[in-house]
Amino acid sequence: MSSGLVLVVVVAAAYLAGRVAFEWLAKRLLIVSGAEYLLLGILLGPQVSGLVDIRIVQSFAPIILLALGWMGAIIGVRLHLPTLFATPGSVFRLAFLETIITLTVVSALETVALVALLGYPVAEAIVPAVLMGAIAVVTASAGIEMSSRLLGNRGPVATQLTTSANISAFSAVVVVGLLLSIDHSRAIGVGRSPTATEWAVITIAIGLVGGTLFHLFLGAEQHVDRLFISLAGGVILVSGAAAYLGLSPLMAAMFFGAILVNTSRSHAQIADVLLRVERPFYFVLLIFAGATWAPSARSWGIPVLLFLVARAAARIGGARLVTRIDGALPALGGTWGYALLGQGGLAIALALNYLYHDDALLPNMVFTAAVVSVLLTDVFSARMARAVLRSEPR
């Protein structure tokens, strides 16, 4: 199959899915999953049918990079400071504590598994283990937002779930960005290789400078078509610069989006433009990610199963624990952690970011864990969120 035909089919399918199928499934069946497009990519890829050769997938790396950057920018626009300041501090405290518990539990257990089962030294095993912990904290926000909208629910549980999803996305992107900076070994055109701290600062600076330049030249623009073209150019520039340096395009693009939403007078239009094409980019990313998937050369069954079990236990148990410690059980109940089990496309994006990282250890195992988790949890994420919101304490 030619690369041009593949691109046409993928873009057409993603557009129709984002504009038609997604809305129909969401309203009729309460399904916001994109897992079927991930599965489609796997079936079309070289591991199953071979209809899409791996060289074709690699030739579309710029499209994948744009999708990664776009998702990072969307996370950034959710960091609107006036909105954040209007949220009670206790909500952020619960969200951060639950995120830390999940990250710690999954990272620690995966480190033990990689050392005990695969024989890696702790210093090597900790990078993929912590990255799996970062993926574990990611929550699909689409199911939460749709359930809240359909139920007309704006109570404390809905606020907590929305904030927790945003905090977990921010935390996961930062952790992965810092990990890639620490694990970074290349020096681009310099006499001395930058330290991990300097690489992290460079990643953030790429996003901040890109966002500042966009604000200076086009910050007052409100025409939707021009904003889209400009945003696409800005995201490509920022994510491309980060990827060229071997850093995280997600983290750079996140700070790019955060600068725009907090400095531009057109921040509402910018957020709207980014969100309008989120679904097509999301489905394109899932299809190409599925085609990229390959089983790990090392034994991956137990680490992946451990990831699924540890993540579910940490999310549910961690949410209940921090709620009890904070004295928020009467307002939130102890079951809101179930609504955080859906993974979403960011988990795939983070794993894909690591998969393309030079000298990554066990990238296919990490990617497989994310793929399996998305396939198992996304179809039911909106239903779990609805059940939690319906059982909100009165």
Span 56-76, pLDDT tens digits: 777 777 888 888 999 999 999
- Confidence band, pLDDT 50/70/90 cuts, at residue 18: very low
Q: By 3-state DSSP, what share of the chain in percent is helix, strand and coil, each rounded to 5?
A: 75, 0, 25
- Could you tell me the maximum CA-CA distance found in the chain, to the nearest angstrom? 63
Residue 317's pLDDT is 93
One-letter identity of residue 383: R
- Confidence band, pLDDT 50/70/90 cuts, at residue 33: low
Residue among 55, 70, 58 at smallest CA distance from 14? 70
Residue 314's pLDDT is 94
Return the residue matching tokens 């889209």.
Answer: 228
Choose the most confident range, by mean pLDDT, from 49-53, 130-134, 268-272, 368-372.
Answer: 130-134
- CA distances (Å), 212 to each of 80, 158, 238, 262, 336, in order? 16, 33, 12, 11, 38
Mean pLDDT of 86-114: 93
Per domain, the residue ranges of the chain are 3-390
Mean pLDDT of the chain, nearest integer = 82
Kindly tell me if the per-residue pLDDT of 41 is higher than 80. no
Residue 393's pLDDT is 67
- Residues 242/356/103/68 CA torsion (nearest 10 deg): 60
Mean pLDDT of 7-25: 53
CATH class of 3-390: mainly alpha
Sign for the pseudo-dihedral over CA of 146, 92, 172, 316: negative
Sign for the pseudo-dihedral over CA of 120, 178, 376, 58: negative
- Confidence band, pLDDT 50/70/90 cuts, at residue 297: low
Kindly tell me if the per-residue pLDDT of 265 is higher than 80. no
- pLDDT 10s digits, 178-191: 998 887 754 444 55
Return the residue matching tokens 């283990």.
Answer: 129
- Confidence band, pLDDT 50/70/90 cuts, at residue 155: confident
Return the residue matching tokens 């109940």.
Answer: 333
User: Both tokens of residue 166?
Assistant: 């945003």
